[in-house]
Amino acid sequence: MLMPSPFRSRTAHRYLHTLDALLLSFLLVDITFTQASAIHTVPITNLPSTSSPPTPDVRPRKLHGRFLHITDIHPDEYYKPGSAVSQFCHRNKPKSDPDRAGKYGVGFSECDSPLALANLTLEYLRDEWADNIDFVIWTGDSARHDNDNQLPRTPAAIYQMNRLIANQMRETFPNIPIVPSIGNNDIWPHNVMSPGPNGITNEYINIWRSFIPFSSYQVFQHGGYFAKEVIPDHVVVISLNTMYWYDAN
């Protein structure tokens, strides 16, 4: 949820690019923002004040009027190029090319994203967009699906993959505020999360320590949500933990 104050820029263009195989979308919009149900505007003066100094990534800088939205990367450490799509791109050699896993993934299939595709995409964003955006919204699902009974997911593997992606995000956007949130595939069991503090919130506060303001650590440990000022005196982003609203939780 974005909360901009009356901030103006000269353009108001919206760009949407998607990579089907990666299930990664990034959204570039003007900071003026069009009215939409998912966007609420409030003056930043309505927010509680804090005496804590601003975090290093929100120091004064040139603004571009755009932000980047990254979601559902679903990197799969077991993805094997040349394996059978019918086996989640994990094993076996297919008899025909249509059922063969490609180097950079298989669109519209039960396979998740190979690390090669995730790496290539982040490299592209670093080279082409990192210097032209004001902040990054990263809405989770940074681990593979639990769709292969022969390779069940574990909490350790989920956290390790999220730690890997978090490190890559820091390298890709070193001087840009990043606001992450928990996806339903970032926890185990899938879709299930109890009230905090718990092992999940404790783990992610360590993985995302450089993304979450120090003043929000305790709030995040209890509920998995936080607020972050991404443009000083103008825009605050609230990262919600929607797991608590999921019917199957």
Distance from C-alpha of 87 to C-alpha of 101, rounded to nearest angstrom: 10
The pTM of the full predicted model, rounded to 2 decimals, is 0.76
Please give the pLDDT value at position 27.
Answer: 37
**Joined tokens for residue 108:** 């519209």
68-96 confidence digits (pLDDT tens): 999 999 999 999 999 999 999 999 998 88
148-171 confidence digits (pLDDT tens): 999 999 999 999 999 999 999 999
Place of tokens 């000269």: 10
**Joined tokens for residue 198:** 């718990």
The full DSSP string for 105-164 is: --TTSS--EEHHHHHHHHHHHHHHTTTS-SEEEE----S--S--TTS---HHHHHHHHHH
The pLDDT mean for the chain works out to 81
Hey, which bits of the chain come out as E strands? 2-4, 15-19, 24-28, 67-70, 75-76, 113-114, 135-138, 178-180, 226-231, 235-239
Determine which of 4-13, 44-53, 56-65, 203-212 has the lowest per-residue pLDDT on average.
4-13
